[in-house]
Amino acid sequence: MSDDLTPDTPDTDTPDVEHASDKDVLVISPSSEDAPDKLVQTVEIKDAGPCKKHIKVTVDRAQIDERFDEKYTELVRSDQPQVRGFRPGKAPRKIIERQYRDSVAEQIKTQVLMASLEQLAEEQSISPLSPPDLDPNAIEIPKEGPFIYEFDIEVRPEFDLPDYKGLSLRRPVHSFTQAEINKERKRLLEPYGQLVPKEGDPPTVEMDDYVVADVVVSYGTRELNRLSEVRFKVEDKLALSDGIAPEFGARISGAKPGDVRTIDIVLSQELGLVALRGQVVQATFTVKDVKTVRPPELTRERLEYLFGVSTPEAFDEYVQTQLERRLEYTQRQEVRKQVLEKIATANWDLPQDMLRRQARKTLERRVMEMKNAGMSDEQIAGRRRVLEQDVLRSTAAALKEHFVLQKVAEMEKLEIEDADLDIEIARIAHQSKESPRKIRARYDKEDLMEALATDLLERKALDVILSTATFDDYPLTPEQQGGEVATVSAEAAPGSDADPAGS
C-alpha cells in the first residue's frame, strides 16, 4: 500500500492546485483535461502532526451512479441473480436493485477505492513511511451524494536540501599493525578452533578468553537476578538481552578463578519496567573457570575451504582486506554523520510511535551495512544488541540519515535496478559461500529485499556526495574503532519485558 502512494515524480496530468484559506490545508481540484477514465475527485491534504498528513478524498457522485447502472444492467441481462417468483433473467430491474444493492455497493466501493488511491498516488507527491491508517470495512458508499473517505498517513519530513556538492569532511585513517592483523587472524579462526582450559597456575583472564562465572545482579539493596555458571567471552563490551556492560573487558581482565569482580551494567531504555530504564545496576562476577580457544591447524585444504586462499601469506592478505573493509565502514559512518550535520539543518520532530514502527526496518538496514563491511554474524549480533538498548535514539539518527540520502537520490534521479540487486546478492553469496539462489530465497522469506534495495540506494547517494567532497584525514581514534561486543542471552533484570525492535 505504501509503495502505491509513493510516486517518484508528479504525473504530467497533475490537477490544478488551489490553496484554501487555512494555509495548512491543500485542496486539489481535478483538471478539466482529465482523461475520461479518471475519477473526478477532490483531495484535501492537511498537516496532522510531525511527519503526518490527513487526507480527505471526495469522489463525484455521477461516476458512482454510472458504475451502479453498469452493474445493475449486467445483472438484469445475466441468468445469475435468483429472485423468488421470477425465472432467471426475467426479474424487474427495481427488484434486482433492491435485493442486490448491498453486494453491488460493496463491489463498487472496492473498485472505486482502489482506483481513487491509485490516482492519488499518481497525482500527488506523497512519500509515505507506512501504510495509510485506512479501514475499508469502515467506509460505505452513501445512497446519495459523493463518496468520501479520509485517512492519516505517516510521511517523510519536508525540508530544503542545501548544496551537498563540494563538502569539506574529516575522514579517519589508519594503518594496521602486525599485532592488529594477528588479532583479526585469531578472531577469524576462532569458530573453527577448540575451547580448552587455559593454562597457568592459576590461569589469568585476558581479552578473547572465555570466563565461566556465577553472577548476581543488584540495584542498590535489591537483588534482580542470579546466574549460575554462565560462560562469557571477554570482549571490550558485554551485551545482555536487556543491558550493556561497557567496561566488561577492562574490568574482568586479570581475574583468576575464585576472584570476584563487580561490573556496571547499563539497562536498556526499552525495558518494560519504566523505573529501571537506563539505570546502572551492579553485577558481581565470581570467576569459576577460564578457557581459551586452541586455533585449528592451518592446512592448505582448510585455508582453501574456509577462506579461498592456499598459503598462510595469502591468508594474511585476506585478513588485511577484511580490516580495510571495516575501516571503510567506519569512515563512511563518520562522514555520514558529518553530512547530516551539514545539510540536514531542519530540526525534525520524529514521533515516538513512528520511531518504534520504523525500528525494525532501521535495524535491518544497519545490519545490511555491517554485512557489506564484512563483519561476522557474531560481530553484527553484538553491535545490533548495542543499538537495541536505546532503539528510539538510534532509530531517530538513522532515519534522519536515511531521509537526507533518499532526498539526494531523488535529486540525482538515482534508482536501484534488478541488476543492482543481482550483483549485490552475488557478492553476498560469494562472501558467505552460499549460492545466490539460496541468499535470494532467504532474503525473500525474511522480507529483507526492501532493506537491501534501500541500503544500495543510500550507498549510491552517499557516493555522489563523497565524489565531490574534500577530505581532511586524521588518525582513527579508539572510540571510533568501537571495540568488539560479546553477547549472551541472559537478562540482568528478568521479567522486564524489553522489546527493543517493537515487534
Same domain, residue pair 335 and 255? no
The rounded distance, in Å, linking the Cα atoms of 456 and 451 is 9
Nearest partner of 263 among 291, 289, 292, 235, judged by Cα:
235
Report the Cα 338 to chain-centroid distance in Å. 21
Same domain, residue pair 305 and 288? no
Same domain, residue pair 333 and 316? yes
Q: Is 443 left (phi over 0), alpha (psi -120 to 50) or beta?
A: alpha
pLDDT value at residue 32: 39
Report the Cα 112 to chain-centroid distance in Å. 33
The domain in which residue 92 lies consists of 3-154
pLDDT value at residue 10: 36
The CATH number covering residue 210 comes to: 3.10.50.40
In 24-98, which ranges are E strands? 25-28, 41-47, 52-59
Same domain, residue pair 85 and 213? no
Examine residue 179 and state whether it is found in any structural domain, yes or no: no
Same domain, residue pair 318 and 445? yes
Same domain, residue pair 322 and 448? yes
Examine residue 348 and state whether it is found in any structural domain, yes or no: yes
Give the three-class secondary structure for 298.
Answer: coil
Examine residue 496 and state whether it is found in any structural domain, yes or no: no
Same domain, residue pair 363 and 456? yes
Same domain, residue pair 208 and 269? yes
Examine residue 69 and state whether it is found in any structural domain, yes or no: yes
The rounded distance, in Å, linking the Cα atoms of 381 and 489 is 11
pLDDT value at residue 161: 85
pLDDT value at residue 6: 33
The rounded distance, in Å, linking the Cα atoms of 308 and 188 is 13
Examine residue 280 and state whether it is found in any structural domain, yes or no: yes
The rounded distance, in Å, linking the Cα atoms of 461 and 406 is 7
Same domain, residue pair 461 and 439? yes
In 32-167, which ranges are E strands? 41-47, 52-59, 147-154
Q: Which residues face 469 on adjacent strands?
A: none
386 within 8 A of 240, measured Cβ to Cβ = no
Give the three-class secondary structure for 18.
Answer: strand
DSSP class per residue in 148-189: EEEEEEEBPPP------SS-EEEEEE----HHHHHHHHHHHH
The rounded distance, in Å, linking the Cα atoms of 353 and 335 is 29
What string of pLDDT tens digits covers the 503 residues of the chain?
Answer: 344 443 333 343 333 333 333 434 434 344 434 444 688 899 999 988 888 889 999 999 998 888 888 888 877 776 665 666 566 666 677 777 777 788 888 988 988 999 998 888 888 777 888 788 888 888 888 888 999 999 998 888 888 888 899 999 999 999 999 999 999 999 999 999 999 999 999 999 999 999 999 999 999 999 999 999 999 999 999 999 999 999 999 999 999 999 999 999 999 998 888 899 999 999 999 999 999 999 999 899 999 988 889 999 999 999 999 999 999 999 999 998 898 888 876 667 788 888 888 888 888 888 888 888 888 888 889 999 998 888 888 888 888 888 889 999 999 999 999 999 999 999 888 877 789 999 999 999 988 898 899 999 999 999 999 999 999 999 998 888 778 999 999 999 987 655 545 44
First CA to last CA distance, the chain: 20
Same domain, residue pair 316 and 289? no
Same domain, residue pair 398 and 259? no
Q: Please give the tally of structural domains in the chain.
A: 3
For 224, the grid coordinates are 534482580
The C-alpha angle 82, 85, 91, rounded to 5 degrees, equals: 60
Phi and psi at residue 438, in whole multiples of 5°?
Answer: -65, -40
The CATH number covering residue 365 comes to: 1.10.3120
Same domain, residue pair 283 and 304? no
